[in-house]
Amino acid sequence: MDRRKFIKGSALMTGLLSISPMDLLASGQTEESKKGQAKNIIFMISDGMSSGTLSMANLYSRNILGRNTCWMNLYLENRVARALMDTASASSIVTDSAAASSAFGGGVRVKNGVLNVGANGERHMPIWQKFKNKGKKAGCVTTVTITHATPAGFCINSEKRNAEPEIAEMYAEIGFDVMMGGGDEFFNPEKRTDKKDLYAVYKQKGYQVLKTRADLSNIDRNKKILGVYNTGALPFAVDRAGREELQSTPSLADMTSAIDRNKKILGVYNTGALPFDVDRAGREELQSTPSLADMTSAAINHLKDHPDGFVLQVEGGKVDWAAHANDISALIHDQLAFDEAVKTAVDFAEKDGNTLVVITTDHGNANPGTIYGAEATANFDSIAHYKFTNEYILNSIHANHNLQQIKDWIFETNRFRLTDEEAKHLLGFYQGLEKEDGLYNYKKLPFKLYSDIQKKHNSVGWISMDHSGDYVELTMYGPGSNLLKPFVKNTDLHNLMLLATGLA
C-alpha cells in the first residue's frame, strides 16, 4: 500500500496496544527453544531509539500502512523475552554511542567518546573478536559509516571514536567476514588524507568489494565482504521513496525543447510548483544504495552455512541522526526500515532454530512523542504526506529564494502552508540573520525551527536535540532468551551472549 494513503477508519486505530503488562512479559517460545544453546547471534540496534520512536513507528504503520510492525507483533504474539535496560556510561547517566556499544562489546562501562578502553588505558577485548577467536564468523552492517561508533564498539579498541580512518585499517587487520555500510572516505585513496588505498588492502586480504545495491546479487561466497555504498552515511529511507516523484517531473530545459509547434500546449506536471533543480541531483545515489534489510539478508546468506556459526551486528544508525535533527519523517521511516531488517533476522532465526536475535537500542534520543489535542490523530496521520526528510527539504532552500518559493516548496513536500511570518523566520537562517547548532547539524540548517513549525501540524513534540538517559526496550528471540532478566544493565548483554553460545 502507498505509504501516503490513509487506510479507511484510521482514527479507530490510534490507541495504544491493548495488552496487559503480564502478557508482554510472557514469552510464546517453547521452553526448549528458549533454553537451547545458540549457534548464531544477530544483534540488532536501532541507534538512538526512544520508546516514543518505537511507538510512533508502529502507530504510523498501523494507521497508514494497515499493519503492525514486526517488533510489535513479536510482543502481540508473545514470541519474545522482554526487558528494560539501563544505558549509562562510566562518565554519565547519558551515554554516547561509543560508550554504549563498548558496554555491549567489551562488557565494561567506559567513558563517553572511547571504544573499549578503560580510564587507565585497559583494553577490553571486543566480543566479536572473542567469537572470531572461537571459530565463528563475524560481521556488521549499518546505515551509517561502517567505521562509526556502534559497529566499532563490537570490533576494536580505540581511544577516539572519531579515528575512523584508523578503524578502517583495524578491521582489515583483524579480518572480519562481512562489513557493510557507508564511509567511502575512509577507504578511498583519493579521499583519505594519507592517500592509502584501503580497498586494495582489503582485496589483497581476500575481500570482495561491493559498491552498489546490484553487487549484492553477485557475491562470491568464497570471499569475505567489504561493502561501502556511499561517502558518509547511506541516504534516509524516506528520501528513497520520494525520488520517483522527482524523476517524473521535467526540467525547464526539457519543457523548452520538447514542444510540438503545431499544437497548443497544456503541461501540468505537479501539485504546486515543480521541484527545485538541486533536488533532482543525487537520484542515482539513492537508487544504488541498498536498504538495511537488503544488507542484512545478504550478510545472513553469506554467513549462515559456516559450521561453527556466526555473529552479526545490524545497526539502524540514522534513526539517531533523525532524532538529533528532530525530523519526524526521517525518524519514522528509518525506524520502519530497521523493522524490515528485524523481520529478515527473525524469519531466518525461526527457520534456523539455532539463532539468538537481540533487538534493542543503545540509548534514547530527543524523546519524541505525540501531543494531546482534538486533532492529534489527523495531525499525526498527516505525516504520510511528508515526501522527504527535513534535511532534504531545508537543503533545497537558499538565501536568494523569495517567500512564495519557500511556501510553495513546503506545501509541495509537507502539504501544509507556512504563514508569511514563518517563511520570513525560515529565510532568516539562510540570509545569515540567525543560526542553529547541533551535534549532527554540520550544515547549520534550521532543524529546530522547522520541527517547531511542523509540530503545529503533526502534533509531535521533542524534549531536546540530543541523547537521553531513559531506560530502553530490549527484546530477545531464540535459544538463550531465557537468560534475559526483566531489568538489566547494558554491560550484562556481553556475558549473556557468551552464556547463550556456551562460551562463558
Structure confidence at residue 394 (pLDDT): 96
Say which residues have a Cβ less than 8 Å from residue 207's Cβ, sequence separation at least 6: 172, 223, 224, 225, 226
Structure confidence at residue 1 (pLDDT): 42
Q: How far is CA 281 from CA 12, 52, 326, in A?
A: 40, 33, 24
* Lowest-pLDDT choice from 46-50, 68-72, 240-244, 282-286: 282-286
Query: Which letter does DSSP use for residue 90 in this model?
Result: S
- Pure H helices in 311-416: 318-324, 328-352, 376-381, 390-395, 403-414
Structure confidence at residue 283 (pLDDT): 52
* Rounded Cα gap, residues 239 and 233, in angstroms: 13
The answer on pLDDT for 387 being more than 90 is yes
Q: Which helix (H) or strand (E) holds 168?
A: helix 164-174
C-alpha cell at 399: 538565501
Nearest 5°: phi and psi at 210?
-105, 135
What sign has the CA pseudo-torsion 284, 292, 71, 326? negative
In three state form, how does the secondary structure of 28-85 look?
CCCHHHHHCCCCEEEEEEECCCCHHHHHHHHHHHHHHHCCCCHHHHHHHCCCCEEEEE
Strand 355-360, strand 40-46: pairing: parallel
* Rounded Cα gap, residues 405 and 435, in angstroms: 21
Structure confidence at residue 34 (pLDDT): 72
* pLDDT tens for each residue of 25-68: 334 456 666 778 999 999 999 999 999 999 999 999 999 999 99
Q: How far is CA 143 from CA 78, 208, 230, 233, 265, in A?
A: 29, 19, 10, 6, 45
Say which residues have a Cβ less than 8 Å from residue 335's Cβ, sequence separation at least 6: 46, 49, 53, 54, 56, 57, 316, 319
Residue labelled with grid coordinates 518505537: 54
Residue labelled with grid coordinates 504546486: 272
Mean pLDDT of the chain: 89
Structure confidence at residue 260 (pLDDT): 56
The string over 26-35, giving b where at least 16 C-beta atoms fall within 10 Å of a residue's C-beta and e elsewhere, is ebebeeebbe
* Rounded Cα gap, residues 361 and 334, in angstroms: 14
Annotated binding-site positions: 47, 148, 150, 315, 320, 324, 362-363, 467
Structure confidence at residue 157 (pLDDT): 98
Residue labelled with grid coordinates 556488521: 140
Specify whether the CB–CB gap between 147 and 161 falls below 8 A: no
Identify which of 387, 388, 426, 390 has the alpha carbon closest to the alpha carbon of residue 406.
426
Nearest 5°: phi and psi at 468?
-130, 165
Q: How far is CA 87 from CA 40, 63, 156, 223, 320, in A?
A: 24, 31, 20, 36, 15
* pLDDT tens for each residue of 427-475: 999 998 666 766 566 668 999 999 999 999 999 999 999 999 999 999 9
Structure confidence at residue 476 (pLDDT): 98
Structure confidence at residue 114 (pLDDT): 98
* Lowest-pLDDT choice from 51-60, 172-181, 255-264: 255-264
pTM of the full structure: 0.88
Query: Which letter does DSSP use for residue 438 in this model?
Result: -
Select from 3.40.720.10, 3.40.630.10, 2.60.120.380, 3.40.50.2300 the CATH code of 36-235+289-369+472-500: 3.40.720.10
Q: How far is CA 1 from CA 63, 331, 354, in A?
A: 12, 20, 34
* Other C-beta atoms lying within 10 Å of the C-beta of residue 122: 12
Annotated binding-site positions for Zn(2+): 47, 320, 324, 362-363, 467
Active-site positions? 97
Share of the chain above pLDDT 70, in %: 82
Annotated binding-site positions for Mg(2+): 47, 148, 150, 315
Say which residues have a Cβ less than 8 Å from residue 400's Cβ, sequence separation at least 6: none
CATH 3.40.720.10: which residues of the chain? 36-235+289-369+472-500
